[in-house]
Structure formats: structure tokens, C-alpha cells
Amino acid sequence: MLEHLTVVTHPLVQHKLTLMRDKETSTAGFRRLLREISLLLAYEVTRGLEMTTTEIETPLQKMQAPVLDGKKLALISILRAGNGLLDGVLELVPAARVGFVGLYRDPETLQPVQYYCKVPAELEDRLTILVDPMLATGNSSVAAVDLMKEKGAKNIRFLCLLAAPEGVARMREAHPDVPIVTAAVDECLNDHGYIVPGLGDAGDRMFGTK
Ligand code: URA
């Protein structure tokens, strides 16, 4: 079982994160680093998956060997920045089922509004991993978890690259049953809801938009 918050302090993760934070890092470099770091984070967020054994035959003898048990896990990308993390995680777990959630912030109420949702069937029987690089205010993350629970998911984990203390607290309050895995928890949010020191707008940096 994962703790409510896991900060992945592995030196490779921290080194790559520093390169990603650097504003001089190009779009191509940022994307490559995100793919690499997401493989390492995927390793952590899939810790403790249920296992069973199957009989195989090595060149020497038969053995009961460990394999993943249960239904294929579900990876849910929170659009659009989630797609950057999704690619790397999928490389590590290629048989995973994939879903997408689109949320925008209503300019008047500032609350997240869903504009897209397509998720795999039978979420209740799958480990469901939501991916979004930035856990900032936590509003969209909480809304995305709400939605997954409405769709039946019972075993949910949240994977991000960077988190703000405000977002972690909001998730802990709304969804204490959802463990968060991240590479760092930064200082705070600024007045525009950006994580400080952060890395800027993750979507813009990975897609080269502004
Ligand atoms: N989303 C981003 O892309 N960056 C932040 O710092 C906060 C939210």
C-alpha cells in the first residue's frame, strides 16, 4: 500500500526534473525528459500491484513464476498535459487500458467543468491511475477523481511530476484514499495558480505553445 504522498527522491528523477525546470530547456528536450522521468515515476506508482504465479519452463526446468494479477490497469490522462506523462507510463505498462478526461476552468466560478470523458469499462475492477504533470490548486484533480469514482473506480492513484502544498492538502481532504506520487512538492502557488518555483505551464512547454 502506498502512503498518501510519495515524493520520488531518486537521483535520476531529481536530476531530470532540474533540467525540465530550466527555462532554457527546449521543447524537444522537455518532451524527451518528461518521457524519461515518467518511466521512473511509473515504476513507483505501480508499486505493490497484485501478483499471482504462472507455470513456465526455463531452459533448465519448470517453475512457478510471478506475473501481474487481475484486470489490466487503467491509465487516465487529464487533458492536455497529462498526455506527456501518459506516453512514458504506457511504455512501461503497454497493456494498460487508457482513458481521457477534459476539464476547463469556468472563468466566473473558477470551478472545473467537464468537456470530455472517455474511460475504459469495468473501472471498479482495475487499478486506476490518473496522470497530470501539475497538481496545483487541486481543483481539477479532485474533480477528475470525483468523476472516476462516479464511473465506478475504487482503487485510484494519482501521478504527477510537481505538486503544490495547496493541491496536496486539497486532495488529502477530498480524497484521502487516493495516494499521490510526485517528483517534488514545491513552495506554493502564485496569484495565477502557477506552482512556484515550478517549471511554468507544462502543456505549453511540452507542446511548444504559448
Ligand atoms: N499548470 C501548469 O502547467 N503549471 C503550473 O505551474 C500550474 C498548473
Closest atom of ligand 1 to 195 CA is 6
Protein residue with its CA nearest to atom 3 in ligand 1: 201
136 vs 110, which has greater pLDDT?
A: 136
26 contact partners, CB below 8 Å, separation of at least 6: none
pLDDT digits (tens, 9 = 90+) for 181-196: 999 999 999 999 999 9
Which residue's entry shows cell 506552482? 195
Q: Does the structure show a pLDDT above 80 at 18?
A: yes
Average pLDDT, whole number, for the chain? 95
Q: Does the structure show a pLDDT above 80 at 107?
A: no
Torsion of CA 162, 118, 91, 195, to 10 degrees: -10
pLDDT value at residue 111:
81
Predicted TM-score (pTM) of this structure: 0.95
Q: Which one from 22, 69, 177, 204 is the annotated catalytic residue?
A: 204
Q: Does the structure show a pLDDT above 80 at 167?
A: yes
Domains and CATH numbers, the chain: 5-207 (3.40.50.2020)
Protein residue with its CA nearest to atom 2 in ligand 1: 201
Q: What share of the chain is helix, strand, coil (3-state, %, to 5)?
A: 35, 30, 35
Q: Does the structure show a pLDDT above 90 at 131?
A: yes
Residue 6: pLDDT band (50, 70, 90) is very high
Q: How far apart are CA 20 and CA 120, in angstroms?
A: 31
